[in-house]
Structure 1
Amino acid sequence: MVKKQLIMESALELFAKQGFEATSVQQITEHCGISKGAFYLSFKSKDELILALIDHFMMQITSDIDYVVINVHDNGELLYQFYYTTFHSFQKHSDFAKILIKEQTQSFNEEFMIKMRNYDTSVENTILSMIERLYSQEVEHTKYDLMYCIKGFMKTYSELLLFYNVPLDLNVLSQSLVEKTNLLARHTTTPFISQELFQIMKQPMDEEVSEEKIIEIIERRLEEMEESIEKESLILLKQQLLEPTLSLAIIKGLLENIRNHPHCKWVSYLLRRYYEF
């Protein structure tokens, strides 16, 4: 296992038991069986490690949701698949999701707040594109309210999944939320959030991710990966950015190869946006 990944997985276990504040770098290194020097070769501080875990978790969730919205072509299935994927992702990453929800009241630094707002904006854009596709002009004046209602469903029911030890059927949950969303979309007539208000509320995202930035991210991911079909695919995608020679069909195939690899989900998301798939 790559040392950086080992540190992140060991830290996650300790954070789940003790929380961020109560867990020291010393405890993390002892749990990993490495020296403090080895830790600081991978992360400059505990805060940087926490941000790396947040990045990993949010990249998985954001990428999974975006992939579904782009690739489910049956409008009758889209909303169900959106909700099912959302809650399945929260279940899959439940350890860190619980920690993040519990620790959000702690005073994180500005970098954390910017990161979370950027991921939140990405999810909002994905939801809005889904709403516009499903309901078109029917919700022209209420789409921003509907988007926040959907985000509310995601947050509230995710907490229900994470913090109550009861068997929950994701299929039934997703069907129930599809019904609720359709009712809101078709019968809400009084908008609260206008386009102007939405733009005021929106915090500006970082600059559009450039080709150079994507290559830089790919290079970092390649250093973390062992030899595999996903790594070979990522190398080819990097070469394509440097010297375009491949058809769009081949690029789509390479993206499909990497999209489920934990180190590649965010790269896959960025490349889908870059190539406008």
Structure 2
Amino acid sequence: MGKKQLIMEKAVELFAQQGFELTSVQQITEHCGISKGAFYLSFKSKDELIIALIDQFMSQMISDTDYQVTKNQNDEKTLYEFYFTMFKSSQKHSNFAKILMKEQSQSFNKELVSKFHHYDRLLEKTILTMMEGLFGEKIENTKHDLVYCIKGFISIYSELILFNNVPVNLEQLAHSLVEKTNLLATQITTPFVTKEIFQLKRLSHEEVTKDQLLEILEQSLSEAEELLEQESLSLLKQHLLEPSLSQVLIEGLLKNIQGYPNCKWIAYLLRNYFALEFTENK
């Protein structure tokens, strides 16, 4: 295990016990058995460490969920895979999931709050895309409200699982929430969250930048082992620098890479980035 990963894993143990605010760099280094100098070679500050942990957890959870949604798009299994993958990820990383649920309501650190909002927005986009694909025009007036209902399900049941030691059958939970979601999607007629409210909330947060995408793309390229993976990433990078590919070809390249574990996150980000770019240029 590398030094950076060791620090992250040991820090999570302390954060789970004490929270972000009460855990010091000194405590983290003592828990890891390293010097402060070794810590600062990996992270500039405790806040940078926290951001890295949030990125690691949230990017994996959202990209895994998005992969299941796009793989089964418009299929009857889509909703089930969405819920099952979401709760499976939270259960697998339960310590950090607990920390996030507590800290999101307590943090006054602007950078952390911004990061929480960023991933919340990405989750909303995945849910909205899924619901539009499954129900189409039937939910045109209620789809934004449904996004918040689904987020509510995730929050409430995650809290039940993580903080109350309730024995959980994830398959049963996923099936139960699929039934509830289908019922809401087919029966809701009076939404509260309108398109205007939804867009107003989202406008207050920044989109991922081209430079950030290029950085993540380079990392994915360095880890790519298969020829198809390498060639697809290279073409996507080239298009990002000098747009020349059609939307259909871009979608094909994204499908080529989204099945590779190290490419799920960049595939998710690029799909959203190019979709926005295409909409703006129409």
Under TM normalisation by the shorter chain, which class is it? 0.7 to 0.9
Residues 75 and 134, structure 1, Cα contact 8 Å, conserved in 2: yes
> RCO greater where, 1 or 2, for CA within 8 Å and sep 6 or more?
1
Q: Return the match for 2:225 from 221, 225, 232.
A: 232
1:39-70 CA deviation, whole Å, 9 max, x = no partner?
11211111111111111111112111211111
Paired with 2:49 and 2:220, the residues of 1 have a C-alpha distance of 16
Paired with 1:239 and 1:191, the residues of 2 have a C-alpha distance of 44
Paired with 2:253 and 2:181, the residues of 1 have a C-alpha distance of 37
> Shift in Å at residue 36 of structure 1?
0.6
Match of residue 58 from structure 2? 58
> Shift in Å at residue 93 of structure 1?
1.3
Match of residue 183 from structure 2? 183
Residues 117 and 203, structure 1, Cα contact 8 Å, conserved in 2: no
- CA change 1:274–1:16 in 2 (3 A) is same
Tell me, which stretches of 5 or more residues in structure 1 are unaligned?
A: 224-229
Matches within 5 A, 1:34-113: 34-73=34-73, 75-113=75-113
Match of residue 158 from structure 1? 158
1:238-275 CA deviation, whole Å, 9 max, x = no partner?
5444557xx97676444422x2x5xx543342244457
- CA change 1:215–1:102 in 2 (3 A) is same
- CA change 1:236–1:136 in 2 (3 A) is closer
> Shift in Å at residue 174 of structure 1?
0.8
Aligned identity (percent) is: 56
Paired with 1:29 and 1:130, the residues of 2 have a C-alpha distance of 43
Of stretches 198-207 and 36-45 in structure 1, the one that deviates more from structure 2 is 198-207
Alignment of 1:216 with 2:215, yes or no, is yes
Paired with 1:45 and 1:69, the residues of 2 have a C-alpha distance of 36
- CA change 1:236–1:204 in 2 (3 A) is farther
- CA change 1:235–1:36 in 2 (3 A) is farther
Tell me, which stretches of 5 or more residues in structure 2 are unaligned?
A: 240-248, 276-282
Residues 215 and 238, structure 1, Cα contact 8 Å, conserved in 2: no
- CA change 1:119–1:251 in 2 (3 A) is closer
Matches within 5 A, 1:125-164: 125-164=125-164
> Shift in Å at residue 156 of structure 1?
0.6
- CA change 1:141–1:169 in 2 (3 A) is same
Match of residue 4 from structure 1? 4
Equivalent residue pairs, number: 263
Paired with 2:269 and 2:73, the residues of 1 have a C-alpha distance of 21
Amino acid at match of 2:5: Q
**Secondary structure in structure 2 of the residue aligned to 1:18:** helix
> Shift in Å at residue 214 of structure 1?
2.1
> Shift in Å at residue 182 of structure 1?
1.1
Residues 215 and 241, structure 1, Cα contact 8 Å, conserved in 2: no
Residues 68 and 82, structure 1, Cα contact 8 Å, conserved in 2: yes
Match of residue 266 from structure 2? 267
Amino acid at match of 1:169: N
